[in-house]
A and B are shown apart, each in its own frame.
Chain A
């Protein structure tokens, strides 16, 4: 079973911040949270990952709550090209290599 819960869909206006929530209440202390996205007709693409601290890279920011039971992916200035399905993922195995992709959140960015 998937270990994460995400809203099915979200809308965002172009240029605004997109905040995508994820619940992972059963995450273990040493498990990372990963975010991927999949643009239509392409394979999934890695965005960011984190353990405890907030993380930022050139694509997005990841905010993880102190109890680690939930996180939020932030796209600070969404563009039309950010329209995609976003997956919040925790590993399937202890080695952290096999990921469980749930159904994700379909983000629609409109002008």
Chain B
């Protein structure tokens, strides 16, 4: 079974803390993604990565950074957490397939609360 795992299912942090969200995939996928999901706003892309040490900004990168030192791991970093970063964070991975099939596989999500 293909698998994307995220380090925590629930996380509570304080304003100003540095927060690391970890994502690991075991499918040898080239592409990895970080989204956040908020009620009424749907899923929004924060950052994505095509390869090790490569990263691209998504639609809402402000306040976040990422790290991809190994192919299987993609980390999302909140340098100084703020209350408006309270959200559900979803990680996904994909690999270019045939006939345009860039199917993304999602992890279970991390619900982050910043107090």
Contact = CB atoms under 8 A, between A and B. Distances in A.
A96 interface: yes
B12 interface: no
- Looking at chain A's contact residues, the main secondary structure is loop
Interface in A51-66: 51
B106 A97 contact: no
Contacts of A101: 35, 42-45
19 contacts: A32-B102, A43-B107, A43-B109, A44-B104, A49-B101, A51-B100, A87-B42, A91-B102, A92-B45, A93-B56, A97-B31, A97-B94, A98-B45, A99-B102, A100-B45, A101-B42, A101-B44, A102-B42, A103-B42
Interface of B: 4, 31, 33, 35, 40-45, 48, 50, 56, 58-59, 90, 92, 94, 96, 99-109
The 9 closest A-B pairs by CB, nearest first: A43-B106, A101-B43, A32-B100, A103-B42, A46-B103, A97-B31, A98-B48, A101-B42, A44-B106
